[in-house]
Chain A
Amino acid sequence: MTRYDSVLDLIGNTPLVGIHALSPNPDVKIWAKLEGQNPGGSAKDRIAKTMVDLAEGDGVLTRGSGQIILEPSSGNTGIGLALVAKLRGYRLRVVLPENVSIERRQLLEIFGAEVVLSPGEEGSNGAIRRAEQLAAEDEELVMLFQYGNPANPLAHYLGTGPEILRDCPEIDVFCAGLGTSGTLMGVGRYLKEHKPEAKILAVEPPVGELVQGLRNLDDGFVPPIFDAAMLDRKTIVRPRESIEWTRRLLSECGVFAGISSGAAVAGAVKYAQRVDAANIVVLLPDGGWKYLSSGAWTDDIDVVEERATRINYW
């Protein structure tokens, strides 16, 4: 049955599709989980809905109240929250780094969110700081705070993890990008409980180098929900590789995905090169639509790479 009462019921149950053409070894299968199929276009729809559900359950939010939800986001969580807020009767204010792709900002605006820009050179750290200031100045604002909210990993523990094991019971490795760490913590915990031999592999961009506004190490940030013990490996993937694999996803597999998806695939392929046989599930957080303006598929790779060191594509 593919008939639903609400668009929010479309969140989750995303498909797994083989991208084996990208594997360096025919005995290593790579399966991509297409989170871009969510109604708001990314994996973040899952956590947006779960964070709001739990806040409603706790009485922090009341449906139809017009309360203002505040969230620091580089785009996807904001878009997911904007969708949920619209249908549940809340307003949304998103603190967005000014150097995200124009499409992310446009989507937030058409979904009805109010956008507050934070300095691009401060990266997501700057958005978090600004949101914390705004929350401190106005106690009416409800900050769900994805970086510290247990509902974030819970959405993946209850949804993404079981879906993956249901669709790929032979999974040996789960690979995903590290942002808030919610995906890896939630899926990681579910797999460690139900398939303990599966390895959890994190991929991240060299954010610490790309964020130019960092004054000293004490400006550093580790998401409160992050538990290092949940991972088995963590790999850096640079902007150029991320773009190359984003292109190969499209040209060799017909999968149109965002730049962080290319990074996750790069990490999965590196792992694939080291093993004889495996089933790897890699999570692709969003589709390519929001990155068309970056020229990721069309412009000269050197130009796109240089651009990617300045835009926040994660």
Chain B
Amino acid sequence: MAVTISIPTVLRTQTDGQANVEVDGATVGAVFDEVISRFPGLKANLVGDDGGLHKFVNVFVDDEDIRYLDGLDTKLDDGASIAILPAVAGGA
């Protein structure tokens, strides 16, 4: 399952400046394991102390937040796009 992960500007120092990374994996968790093995600096930014998602990170598969799908177990279709976005304040 080849998918594309888009890396936010704030994390690109960990990916040698790459904005998009192509990875294989059947679930978000599997894809994260793979991308962390390639860029170990990402680990502390993606995974919290409890092994779940970092509290200031939102992950979207084809624009849907995985916290409301199956979290790290969310299954991926071939060609899916994963967006990692830092949690920041929205306007109001």
| B-binding residues in A (CB < 8 A) | 44, 73-77, 97, 100, 123-125, 127-128, 146-147, 177-182, 204-209, 211-212, 214-223, 228, 231-237, 312-314
Nearest-CB residue, chain B, relative to A313: B91
Looking at the complex, which one of A127, A146, A220, A235 makes contact with B86 (CB distance below 8 Å)? A220
Please report which residues of chain B, range 45-61, place their CB below 8 angstroms from some CB of chain A when the two chains form the complex: 45, 54-58, 60
Q: Which residue of the partner chain, among B8, B57, B63, B91, contacts A97 with CB atoms under 8 Å?
A: B91
**Which of B54, B87, B90 neighbours the largest number of chain A CB atoms within 10 Å of its CB?**
B90
The verdict on A314 contacting B58 (CB below 8 Å), with A209-B85, A217-B45 known, is no
B56 and A220 contacting across the interface, CB-CB below 8 Å: yes
CB of B22 closer than 8 Å to a CB of A = no
Q: Which 5 A-B pairs have the closest CB atoms?
A: A220-B56, A74-B91, A208-B85, A314-B91, A179-B90
Q: Is A236 a contact partner of B63 (Cβ separation < 8 A)?
A: yes
The CA-CA distance from A306 to B8 in the complex, in Å, is 18
Residue of A nearest to B45 (CB): A217
- Taking a contact as CB atoms under 8 Å apart, the answer to whether B68 and A217 are in contact is no
Q: Is B34 an interface residue (CB 8 A)?
A: no
* A208 in contact with B86 (CB, 8 Å): yes
Q: List 23 A-B contacts (CB under 8 A).
A: A44-B92, A73-B92, A100-B91, A123-B91, A125-B88, A128-B89, A177-B90, A178-B90, A180-B90, A180-B92, A207-B90, A208-B85, A209-B8, A214-B88, A217-B11, A220-B55, A223-B89, A228-B67, A233-B64, A233-B68, A236-B60, A236-B85, A314-B91
Contacts of A100 in B (CB 8 A): 91
Q: A214-B10, A216-B10, A236-B60 are in contact. Are A204 and B54 (CB under 8 A)?
A: no
B28 at the interface (CB under 8 A from A): no
When chains A and B are docked, how far (Å) is the Cα of A90 from the Cα of B91? Answer: 24
Given contacts A207-B89, A232-B68, list 20 more A-B pairs with CB under 8 A: A73-B91, A97-B91, A123-B91, A147-B92, A178-B90, A179-B90, A182-B92, A206-B85, A207-B85, A207-B90, A212-B9, A214-B10, A217-B54, A220-B56, A220-B86, A220-B87, A222-B55, A233-B64, A234-B68, A313-B91
Residue numbers in B under 8 Å from A124 (CB-CB): 88-92
Contact B92 A314 (CB under 8 A): yes
Residues of A with C-beta under 8 A to B68:
231-234
B75-92 near A? 1/0 per residue, CB < 8 Å: 000000001011111111
User: Which residues on the A side are within 8 Å of B24 (C-beta)?
Assistant: none
> Does A314 contact B90, Cβ atoms closer than 8 Å?
yes
| B residues less than 8 Å from A236 (CB atoms) | 60, 63-65, 83, 85
Contacts of B8 in A (CB 8 A): 208-209, 214
- Bound-state Cα–Cα, A180 to B92, Å: 6
- Cβ-defined contact, B89 with A218, below 8 A: no
Residues of A within 8 A of B87 (CB): 208, 220-222
What is the bound-complex CA distance between A100 and B64, given in angstroms? 27
Once A209-B8, A212-B9, A220-B56 are accepted as A-B contacts, the answer to whether A234 and B89 lie under 8 Å apart by CB is no
Instruction: State in angstroms the CA–CA spacing of A235 and B67 once bound together.
Output: 11
Inter-chain contacts of A228 with B (CB < 8 A)? 67
Q: Which residues of A contact B56 (CB under 8 A)?
A: 217-218, 220-222
Complex contacts, A313 vs chain B, CB 8 Å:
91
Q: Which residues of B contact A181 (CB under 8 A)?
A: 90
The answer to whether B88 and A220 have CB atoms under 8 Å apart is yes
Closest to A218 in B: B56
Residue of A nearest to B6 (CB): A209
Give Cα distance in the complex from A77 to B85, angstroms. Answer: 25
